[in-house]
Structure 1
Amino acid sequence: MDETAALAPAAADARLVVAISSRALFDFEEENRVFEAGGDDRDYMRLQLERLDVPARPGVAFSLVRKLLAFNAGAPRVDVVVLSRNDPVSGMRVFRSAQHYGLPIERGMFSRGSPPWRYLGPLKANLFLSTNEDDVRAALDAGVAAARVATHSRHAAETHPDELRIAFDGDAVLFSDEAERVYQQEGGLAAFQAHEVARSTTPLPPGPFKPLLEALHRLQRAAASGMRVRTALVTARSAPAHERAIRTLMAWQLEVDEAMFLGGLPKGEFLRQFEPDFFFDDQTRHVEHAAGHVPAGHVAAGISNAAR
């Protein structure tokens, strides 16, 4: 290896940086049950070492990662880093599994039970996907878009191999939870609708995932790899409250390719038709319903997640 290249710092600020836990990327649910049953990480380490040459099955976020890395054809635009509470021994299996599937993942931090989210800042991460709720909440508190991956989610369809598809909820995800607070604290749907109509031309404050949408726009503009990005806003809002959401995106000079204002209809069936590689929502009931149809993750932000 060229020592100069090895010592050169990664130009992470010029790339879309995604940090992901090993259980979000690969299906380590069987191994995790061994850990939870015994409470001793040495048993877990021993099992992972025994299976070192057995590639782990793809996990819920595997399709998302594979497509993101495909944008690097021709020039480095995406950096995927494994950021895991796993131990370094188990990390060997993670890297070998990535190599087996042709995923060019070079960086990883394995903290053996210690919270790994503190490395998100030095990584300049745009997104953190984990199965650990405490780590997700800490990342969100630190200003990083983060979601707890529902490991029981249906895996992504393979219908769109050249298109990265991501779906976002609106309030408390792309936007702040301002309107949701009105709904929950000031009188339900009627108060919510009146509030949003009166402020239809006033952009909503940004939510935790606005920077990720911005990064996806930059990725789309720079893409010369044959890959494309397609995004969707999938929200329980309905007319007339839809207008503020659209005008907010316009004020930010950001776009989504599709917008679904469902007025409280279950989101899962609509998401199944969109076929995202991942869907982000702040309400657990929406995530649970969506997980039966598509890969989904819970964004523990906003008033709906204030009480634990």
Structure 2
Amino acid sequence: MPKFTLEDKLVVAISSRALFDFEEENRVFETGDLSQYEALQRSRLETSAKPGVAFGLIRKLLALNAHEQRVEVVILSRSDPISGLRAFHSCREHGLAIERGVFTRGRSPFAYLKPLRASLFLSANPDDVRAALAAGFPAARVLPETPRAASRYADEIRIAFDGDAVLFSDEAERVFQSDGLRAFVGHEIDKRNLPLPGGPLKPLLEALNKLQRIADDNESPSPMHIRTALVTARSAPAHERAIRTLMAWDIEIDEAMFLGGLDKGEFLREFEPDFFFDDQIRHCESARVVTATGHVLSGIANAS
């Protein structure tokens, strides 16, 4: 058997609760009675779980493997190994080609992101997400809300990103928080030709860009196209530094929305992303009624 490697793949590590609707089981888990939780999962080993928050995104990402395996999805869970049987059973029932998993029975699993070379970690556990971000891995806390499928775009993976503290560092956001809007705008005008440092999800956007370029160059057309969007509270003239930063990184983005404080939810409703990432919980709360949403627990907005 040839040696399997993750070197050239986009690896998504996802908790079982982010992939499937295990909210009822999680309420038992959070009581601290691990034996009761495990007994509940054992009683449901043959019962397929319903799709969870990130299910739609994962299903579409796996569709990129139609001609060549470019995406690897690994379940990374605090559940015990026997409860993991139910997660794998649910994958089979829903037709998800997921073969690998790590189950840590109550302990934080984030340390396994390193050998997995994860490009993204999705979990409903905020402590695991913070630890992953602190270790330098793109990560977000999924908000447990029933996701809506992007019905008009079955052949596209649509992902939307906030800018500051998500794709970019929180350098400019710190100026805004400390000195206000006028200082922020002046800071960004003065530094418009200086690329912003990368934020926690820059590696994910880079990986998505690489996947799309490979698909575009491939003689066999991919059944799935990747479309990305920047959805930011920035507005002109502070927009320029954001665009020039992406240019300096040689990263292409398909749509950019500079909303200047307008509610993001209405614009996301039109874009219909399979997933949206933002560092500010108020924007996440606005987005979660529209689409699956991940709270990126980084930057000054999450310092406390």
- Name the TM tier (shorter chain): over 0.9
> Which 4+ residue blocks in structure 1 deviate beyond 4 angstroms?
none
1-side partners of 2:252 and 2:29: how far apart?
A: 44
Residue 11 of structure 2: SS of its match in structure 1? strand
**Amino acid in the other structure paired with 2:275:** F
Select the residue among 209, 220, 226 that pairs with 2:201: 209
CA contact (8 A) 1:153 1:293 kept: no
Task: Say whether residues 1:13 and 2:7 are aligned partners.
Answer: yes
2-side partners of 1:166 and 1:19: how far apart?
A: 17
Residue 65 of structure 2: SS of its match in structure 1? coil
Counterpart of 2:141?
148
Q: Deviations over 1:260-300 (max 9, x none)?
A: 00001111111111011100000111111110111101001
CA contact (8 A) 2:52 2:147 kept: no
Return the offset for 1:51: 1.2
Counterpart of 1:306?
303
Counterpart of 2:234?
237
Select the residue among 289, 292, 300 that pairs with 1:292: 289
2-side partners of 1:41 and 1:157: how far apart?
A: 36
Select the residue among 189, 210, 213 that pairs with 1:218: 210
RMSD of Structure 2 on Structure 1 (CA)? 1.0
Q: What is the correspondence of 1:38-187 to structure 2 with a 5 Å cutoff?
A: 39-152=32-145, 154-185=147-178, 187=179
Q: Deviations over 1:18-49 (max 9, x none)?
A: 00000000000011122234x21111111111
**Greater alpha carbon shift after TM alignment, 107-116 vs 145-154:** 145-154
Counterpart of 2:182?
190
Return the offset for 1:154: 3.5
Unpaired segments ≥5 residues, structure 1: none
Return the offset for 1:11: 1.8
CA contact (8 A) 1:83 1:109 kept: yes
**Amino acid in the other structure paired with 1:118:** A
Return the offset for 1:153: 5.0
Task: Say whether residues 1:283 and 2:275 are aligned partners.
Answer: no
1-side partners of 2:247 and 2:74: how far apart?
A: 32
Residue 165 of structure 1: SS of its match in structure 2? strand
Select the residue among 168, 192, 195 that pairs with 1:200: 192
**Amino acid in the other structure paired with 1:211:** P
Residue 154 of structure 2: SS of its match in structure 1? coil
Q: Deviations over 1:182-205 (max 9, x none)?
A: 0011x2101100100111111111
2-side partners of 1:176 and 1:35: how far apart?
A: 35
Q: What is the correspondence of 1:252-291 to structure 2 with a 5 Å cutoff?
A: 252-291=249-288
Q: What's the TM-score, normalizing by structure 1?
A: 0.95
Identical columns (%) = 66
2-side partners of 1:144 and 1:33: how far apart?
A: 27
The count of residues paired between Structure 1 and Structure 2 equals 299
